[in-house]
A and B are shown apart, each in its own frame.
Chain A
Amino acid sequence: EVRMVESGGGLVRPGGSLRLSCTASGFTFSSHSIHWVRQAPGRGLEWVSSISGSSKYVFYADSLKGRFTISRDNAKEEVYLQMNSLTTDDTAVYFCARRSQALDVWGQGTTVTVSS
């Protein structure tokens, strides 16, 4: 079964950091780019970042202003999202998704809450 599972969410203070993980299974992991997408409470989907299969190409939403870093470990079949200088605007459910022609396999999401 093809699966994506996010972990690492939780409650963090403003200005703090958090690292999310996305664990994949059931497909050739290194052949696919992986994307992070977030959804603030009651809001729409916001594309966050992506990383190619070889890690050669990484992209970020301009709004993140260099605070987030995406990486992957193909041996572990994991992708990571390091999030620094968090603000209340970063409160959201964070999804990881596999890209084939589009984002065809999604995880269930992990919740990040930034609050004092």
Chain B
Amino acid sequence: DIQLTQSPSTLSASVGDRVTITCRASQSIDDWLAWYQQQPGKAPKLLIYKASILESGVPSRFSGSGSGTDFTLTISSLQPDDLGTYYCQQFNTYSSFGQGTKLEIK
């Protein structure tokens, strides 16, 4: 099994802040990584796929980078609607999710 470890587990930031979430894989997954946002009571929403490609309709303040084992999701200027929990997911071998990063707005 490929394990994904996200950090931090929780994050509190202010509107306008630059926010970075990391995801580390237990072995190389090339660029087979996606990022999702889940707001309370809702299904997850795809933000980024293939590590760095922005899903259609997702605001450009979201960006992704990385390959191999280390990946990053960045929100360039945090907005109130960005609260929620963020997950990474790998598709290199079967699939698996990171444990999530809960983002709170100060």
Contacts and interface: CB of A to CB of B under 8 A. Distances in A.
A44 B9 CA distance: 11
B95 A104 contact: no
A60 B43 CA distance: 21
A95 interface: yes
Contact of B87 (A44, A61, A62, A106): A44
Interface residues of B, number: 23
B55 interface: yes
Interface in A43-89: 44-47, 50, 59-62
A103 B89 contact: yes
A107 interface: yes
B34 A103 contact: yes
A59 B94 contact: yes
A28 interface: no
Determine the main DSSP class of A at the interface with B: strand
Contact of A45 (B49, B53, B91, B100): B100
Contacts, number: 58
B100 A102 contact: no
Contacts of A95: 43-44
Contacts of A37: 44, 97
B96 interface: yes
Given A45-B38, A45-B44, A47-B89, A104 B55 contact: yes
Return the 4 tightest CB-CB contacts between A and B, nearest first.
A102-B34, A106-B43, A102-B49, A101-B49
19 contacts: A37-B44, A44-B98, A44-B99, A44-B100, A45-B36, A45-B44, A45-B100, A47-B97, A59-B95, A60-B94, A95-B44, A101-B34, A101-B49, A101-B53, A102-B91, A103-B44, A106-B43, A106-B44, A107-B43
